[in-house]
């Protein structure tokens, strides 16, 4: 037996080992699934809220990565365009992989812990800062049925958890053993506490109007057209909310915590590598979160700004085609590729047959994906809702980026006096006016 084995080639040996192993594993898995599927499904069904929470938390944490990459890329490209530059255009088509490469660079850097820092707190701080952001994403409704959890105190939860990032910043600044870090952290704490008040008070008007703190209900109450959105009822509230949210997200012109010209890099001075990256990862996700909350509260959430003018209802029943369906699946790609590639092949003698076929294949795929997306947009409410929600959110992200490209940073005393002398009284005024209007309209 051993003699035969030694005469076999490497590939044959691998084949002889792998195929039986796969057979055994497959058999075991089949038996295990057959035995365990029922009980596992029962268990999951019995604990649906838990399953939902785990799934939502996983989805949200995974979601933050593309969101941050897209926003970083937007920031590079949009600010470059506003400076009359082209911006990154080397990595990937139109420089789209720039932020990914940026992230890889940060990941590959040395993760350095300076001497003198309070190591456990220093290590925990970026985690605390980052953790608070996806936790706030949990309550934001993205589309009908697409949300992490529907609390009846969602708004309260949002502000409570959102304020947690300041704890992380304070930890980072205090543990860093660096005066600039400590100054940045203290500024962050002062600023966050000052702006937390107008931020929370500015949405009290909405809570009075809606009669609930559930974000889902608030969005549902804004259903209809453009003019049913809360922005028409609470313009002052939106203004205060937006300014305070800018400060909460530590964005220019209110990014006193960073202030590289004054504080080196604020609380992040002593951080390097991915721990440094986590602070800014959190910041960019925070921009998305704050934009999403603005849309949910004031701009109708997932609601379209108008009724869809063409009431298209596609009731496709592929099963009705019978045997034709098989032919469609088998023939449509081939026919589509040839038909779409034919014009290129005919029009130019420089396009070879193979190139024309490749062009046809790509066009066919684009066509099919476009048709599928259009079909999903028309027929599934959550697809169109998600599209509107993401679209509106990125309009706000764009405004945040544009503000960074436009406005200079304010002074720290201007920042504080503006919060306490202007924003807070305005927010209180907004609450009084809303309350009076609501009571008058209710008693009439």
Number of Cβ within 10 Å of residue 321's Cβ equals: 13
**Any bridge partners for residue 146, and if so which?**
143
What are phi and psi for residue 143, nearest 5 degrees? -160, 165
Residue number, 387 or 403, with CB nearest to other proteins: 403
And the tokens for 207?
A: 């809570």
414 binds other proteins (CB under 8 A): no
Q: Which of residues 313-372 bind other proteins (CB under 8 A)?
A: none
CB closer to other proteins, 114 vs 405: 405
Interacting residue with other proteins among 359, 403, 410, 416 (CB under 8 A): 403
Closest approach of other proteins to the CB of residue 202, in Å: 16
Q: Pick the closer one to other proteins by CB: 117 or 426.
A: 426
**The residue count for the chain:** 444
Q: How far is the CB of 251 from other proteins (least distance, A)?
A: 14
Find the shortest distance in angstroms from Cβ 358 to other proteins: 25
Nearer to other proteins, 209 or 401 (CB): 401
Return the residues of window 60-99 that contact other proteins according to CB under 8 A: 78, 81-86, 89
Asked if residue 390 lies in contact with residue 398, where contact means CB atoms within 8 angstroms, the answer is no
Mutual angle of helices 48-82 and 119-137, in 10-degree steps: 100
104 binds other proteins (CB under 8 A): no
Q: Is 231 in the site for other proteins (CB under 8 A)?
A: no
Q: Which neighbouring-strand residues pair with 143?
A: 146
Q: Compare residues 89 and 118 and give the one whose CB is closer to other proteins.
A: 89
Q: 179-202 and 154-162 helices cross at what angle (nearest 10)?
A: 170
Listed residue (94, 97, 72, 402) closest to 86, CA to CA: 94
Tell me the angle at which helices 179-202 and 235-248 cross, rounded to the nearest 10 degrees: 160
Nearer to other proteins, 46 or 84 (CB): 84
Answer yes or no whether residue 406 interacts with other proteins by CB under 8 A: yes
> Which CB sits closer to other proteins, 264 or 403?
403
CB within 8 A of 276, min separation 6: which ones? 106, 126, 268
Half-sphere exposure of 161 (CA within 13 A, CB side): 20
Q: How many residues bind other proteins (CB under 8 A)?
A: 13
**Nearest distance from C-beta of residue 404 to other proteins, angstroms:** 10
429 binds other proteins (CB under 8 A): no
Q: Give the residues lining the site for other proteins (CB under 8 A).
A: 78, 81-86, 89, 402-403, 405-407
């Amino acid at each position: 037996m051993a003699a035969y084995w030694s005469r076999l080639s490497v590939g044959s040996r691998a084949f002889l080992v792998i195929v039986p192993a796969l057979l055994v594993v497959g058999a075991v898995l089949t038996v295990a699934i057959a035995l365990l599927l029922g009980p596992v499904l029962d268990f999951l069904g019995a604990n649906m809220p838990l399953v939902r929470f785990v799934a939502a938390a996983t989805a949200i944490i995974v979601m933050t990565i593309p969101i941050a990459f897209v926003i970083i890329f937007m920031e590079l490209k949009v600010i470059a365009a506003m400076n009359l530059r082209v911006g990154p255009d080397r990595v990937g088509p139109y420089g789209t992989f720039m932020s990914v490469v940026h992230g890889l660079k940060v990941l590959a850097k040395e993760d350095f812990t300076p001497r003198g820092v309070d190591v456990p707190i220093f290590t925990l701080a970026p985690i605390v800062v980052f953790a608070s952001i996806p936790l706030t994403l949990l309550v934001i409704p993205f589309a009908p049925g697409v949300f992490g959890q529907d609390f009846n105190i969602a708004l309260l939860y949002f502000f409570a958890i959102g304020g947690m990032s300041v704890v992380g910043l304070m930890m980072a600044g205090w543990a860093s053993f660096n005066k600039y870090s400590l100054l940045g952290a203290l500024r962050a704490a002062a600023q966050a506490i000052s702006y937390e008040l107008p931020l929370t008070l500015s949405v009290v008007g909405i809570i009075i109007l809606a009669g609930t703190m559930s974000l889902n209900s608030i969005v549902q109450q804004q259903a209809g057209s453009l003019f049913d959105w809360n922005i028409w009822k609470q313009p002052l509230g939106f203004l205060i909310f937006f300014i305070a949210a800018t400060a909460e997200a530590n964005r220019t012109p209110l990014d006193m915590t960073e202030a590289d010209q004054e504080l080196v890099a604020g609380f992040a001075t002593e951080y390097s590598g991915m721990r440094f990256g986590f602070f800014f990862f959190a910041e960019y996700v925070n921009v998305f979160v704050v934009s999403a909350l603005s849309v949910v509260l004031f701009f109708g959430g997932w609601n379209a700004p108008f009724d869809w003018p063409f009431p298209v209802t596609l009731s496709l029943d592929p099963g009705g085609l019978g045997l034709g369906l098989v032919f469609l699946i088998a023939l449509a790609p081939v026919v589509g590729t040839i038909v779409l590639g034919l014009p290129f092949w005919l029009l130019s003698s420089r396009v070879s047959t193979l190139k024309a076929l490749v062009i046809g294949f790509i066009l066919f795929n684009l066509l099919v994906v476009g048709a599928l997306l259009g079909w999903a947009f028309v027929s599934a409410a959550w697809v169109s809702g998600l599209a509107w929600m993401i679209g509106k959110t990125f309009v706000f992200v764009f405004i945040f980026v544009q503000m960074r490209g436009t406005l200079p940073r304010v002074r720290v005393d201007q920042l504080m006096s503006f919060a306490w002398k202007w924003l807070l009284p305005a927010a209180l005024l907004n609450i009084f006016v809303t309350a009076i209007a609501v009571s008058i309209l209710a008693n009439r």
